[in-house]
A and B are shown apart, each in its own frame.
Chain A
Amino acid sequence: VRVAAVRLWIAVPLFLAVALAPETSDACPVCMSNREASRLAYLGTTIFLSALPLMMVGSGVFWLRRRILEAEQSWPAREPQPDFLGASLEPAALEEEEPSPAAAVPRDPPRSGDSLERATELQAGT
Chain B
Amino acid sequence: VNLYARRATETTLLFPRREQVVSNAVMGTLIFVMCEAMFFAGLISAFTIVRSGAFGWPPPGQPRLPFEETAVNTAALLLSGVVLYAAHRTLKRDRSRAGRLLLASIGLGAFFVIFQGVEWVALIREGLTLTSSHHGSFFYLIVGLHALHAVGAITVLAWVWLRLQRGRLTASRFYAAQIFWYFVVGLWPILYLRVYL
Contact = CB atoms under 8 A, between A and B. Distances in A.
Given A41-B49, A68-B21, A71-B21, A52 B38 contact: yes
Interface in A15-57: 31-33, 35, 37-38, 40-42, 44-45, 48-49, 52-53, 56-57
B53 A35 contact: yes
Contacts of A32: 50, 53
Contact of B48 (A44, A84, A89, A111): A44
A63 B26 CA distance: 13
Contacts of B193: none
A90 B167 contact: yes
B105 to A, nearest CB: 17
Contacts of A70: 21
Nearest to A68: B21
Given A76-B17, A89-B174, A112-B14, A38 B167 contact: no
Given A48-B41, A49-B42, A84 B26 contact: yes
B52 A38 contact: yes
B38 A91 contact: no
Interface of B: 6, 9-10, 13-17, 19-23, 25-26, 30, 34, 37-38, 41-42, 44-45, 48-53, 91-92, 164, 167-172, 174-175
